[in-house]
């Protein structure tokens, strides 16, 4: 990852932004696959948000079909946070501005569990730490890196490609 980051330091800002977006979307996609959620497609092509504004990328998760988990809400929160966390592994810092829509979603979900502001903040910190812990694994980092590289090359990739990178990384690092 350090070699990859060093190569990106010398590139113009739009390319660095594109790479950061690729890592962000790859983080969502790889975390979703790791939690048993099927990914339909991932793109770093700019687009419009439903209620106005623009987005830099999108990870589209298939609706309906996924293996049941112990806590669906926690899985959703971790998937939402995975983009910002994966991007921070590339850039060296969190970018809450770029993750604004994800963080709003996290707030809506965690707001259903927290009875006070203090409880909400504690739950949010715990979920961020959980996401950091999960993505600290070498296999998931490699799957994210490969997915991000493919996104930079092709702009849009299928969920099947993400699954392939995920399984390749799991075989190589576990």
Q: Are strands 156-158 and 47-48 parallel, antiparallel or unpaired?
A: unpaired
pLDDT for the residue numbered 7: 42
- Return the residue matching tokens 């983009």: 83
Sheet arrangement for strand 58-61: 58-61, 39-43, 156-158
Closest CA to 78 of 140, 161, 169, 4: 140
Query: For residue 53, which phi and psi values (nearest 5 degrees)?
Result: 90, 180
Collapsing DSSP to helix, strand or coil, 61 comes out as: strand
User: Per-residue pLDDT averaged across 13-37, rounded?
Assistant: 89
pLDDT for the residue numbered 5: 44
Question: Is the dihedral angle over the CA atoms 170, 23, 55, 95 positive or is it negative?
Answer: positive
Could you tell me which residues are beta bridge partners of residue 156? 43
pLDDT for the residue numbered 98: 87
Burial readout 115-142 (b: 16 or more C-beta within 10 A, e: otherwise): eeeeeeeebbeebbeebeebbeeebbbb
The yes-or-no verdict on residue 41 having pLDDT over 70 is yes
The yes-or-no verdict on residue 105 having pLDDT over 70 is yes
pLDDT for the residue numbered 2: 45
Q: How confident is the model at residue 174 (pLDDT cuts 50, 70, 90)?
A: confident
């Amino acid at each position: 990852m350090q070699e990859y980051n060093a190569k990106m330091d010398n590139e113009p800002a739009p390319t660095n932004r594109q790479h950061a977006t690729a890592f962000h979307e790859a983080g969502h996609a790889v975390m979703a696959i790791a939690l048993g959620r099927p990914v339909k497609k991932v793109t770093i092509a700019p687009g419009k948000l439903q209620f106005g504004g623009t987005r830099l990328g999108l990870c589209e998760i298939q609706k309906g079909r996924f293996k049941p988990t112990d806590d669906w809400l926690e899985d959703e929160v971790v998937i939402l946070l995975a983009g910002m966390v994966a991007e921070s592994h590339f850039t060296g810092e969190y970018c809450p501005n770029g993750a604004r829509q994800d963080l709003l979603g996290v707030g809506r979900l965690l707001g259903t569990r927290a009875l006070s502001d203090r409880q909400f903040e504690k739950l949010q910190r715990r979920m961020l730490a959980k996401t950091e812990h999960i993505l600290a694994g070498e296999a998931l980092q490699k799957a994210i890196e490969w997915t991000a590289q493919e996104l930079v090359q092709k702009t849009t990739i299928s969920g099947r490609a993400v699954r392939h990178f995920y399984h390749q990384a799991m075989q190589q690092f576990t």
